């Protein structure tokens, strides 16, 4: 369980190490969680978030993960736009970290990927295993 | 009329298919048509306010750019006629709204 509750928006992620995909709905708070984790990272929290936007900016996921081998959680937003890239990288990283992927295609990482749901209120975002 | 193609890889000229909905959304202006308002209500549980903002499900005023990619996909379909829009980033709920609108 990851609980970060000292900031305006509280984050709770009740998952174990492994790779998880969000359920396939829009407007559930995934990108909001991405933005919050980015902000928390800048505050010194040991979390990571990466999106297609970052890829377009030239930020390399390989370098990000290499520089941060152990973090509480890694969130990948807009993975569908990455067209299957980084699969092995994410799988390897998920052996010792929580990896959550926003992926609406039927891409599979392990053949039995975990699924998770996200709930948000104005001041809290919660991620639970389904 | 809504045209739907499945298996885009083989059936649509890729040069005429918009894949990056977030980028395309920045090029359109929504004006509050009935269909646009419906998309925001059904996908976001929100309310259209003007071309630059909407009221989210919690009652907060947010920039229109904060809409979900799924909702933006619908709005792009409504405002980009004669071009295919890839729904790759749309959730099941957004695609359902798009088809049944």
> Which ipTM did the prediction report?
0.90
pLDDT of residue B5 exceeding 90, the answer is no
First to last CA, chain A: 15
Decide if A27 and B94 are in contact by the 8 Å CB cutoff.
Answer: yes
pLDDT tens across A34-57, in order? 999 999 999 999 999 999 999 999
Q: Is residue B7 pLDDT above 70, yes or no?
A: no
Distance from CA of A26 to the nearest CA of B (A): 4
Contact A27/B90, CB-based, under 8 Å?
no
CB of A110 less than 8 A from some CB of B: no
**Residues A70, A59: Cα–Cα separation, whole Å:** 19
Contact pairs from chain A to chain B, CB under 8 Å = 49
Mutate to test the interface with A, among B39, B40, B67, B69 (most CBs of A within 10 A): B69
Residue A113 has pLDDT above 90, yes or no: no
Which segments within chain A are labelled E, that is strand?
A: 2-4, 10-14, 18-22, 47-51, 73-77, 98-101, 114-121, 124-129
Return the minimum-mean-pLDDT range out of A9-18, A85-94, B5-14, B32-41: B5-14
The Cα–Cα gap between A117 and B52 comes to: 30
Total-model pTM: 0.92
pLDDT in tens, A87-106: 999 999 999 999 999 998 77
């Amino acid at each position: 369980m990851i609980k970060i509750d000292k900031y305006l928006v509280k984050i709770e992620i009740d998952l174990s190490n492994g790779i998880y995909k969000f359920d396939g709905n829009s407007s559930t708070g995934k990108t909001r969680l991405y933005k919050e984790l980015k902000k928390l990272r800048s505050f010194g929290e040991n979390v990571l978030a990466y999106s297609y936007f970052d890829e377009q900016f030239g930020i390399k996921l390989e370098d990000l993960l290499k520089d941060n081998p152990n973090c509480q959680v890694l969130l990948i937003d807009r993975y569908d736009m990455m067209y299957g890239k980084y699969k092995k990288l994410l799988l390897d990283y998920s052996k010792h970290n929580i990896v959550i992927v926003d992926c609406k295609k039927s891409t599979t990482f392990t053949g039995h990927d975990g699924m998770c749901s996200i709930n948000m209120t104005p001041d809290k975002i919660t991620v639970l295993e389904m | 009329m809504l045209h739907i193609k499945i298996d885009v890889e083989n059936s649509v000229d890729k040069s005429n298919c918009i894949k990056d909905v977030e980028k395309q959304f920045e090029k359109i202006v929504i004006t509050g048509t009935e269909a646009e308002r419906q998309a925001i209500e059904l996908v976001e549980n929100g309310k259209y306010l003007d071309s630059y903002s909407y009221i989210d499900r919690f009652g907060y005023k947010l920039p229109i750019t904060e809409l979900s990619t799924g909702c933006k996909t619908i709005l792009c379909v409504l405002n980009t006629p004669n071009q295919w829009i890839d729904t790759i980033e749309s959730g099941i709920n957004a695609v359902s709204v798009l088809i049944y609108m």
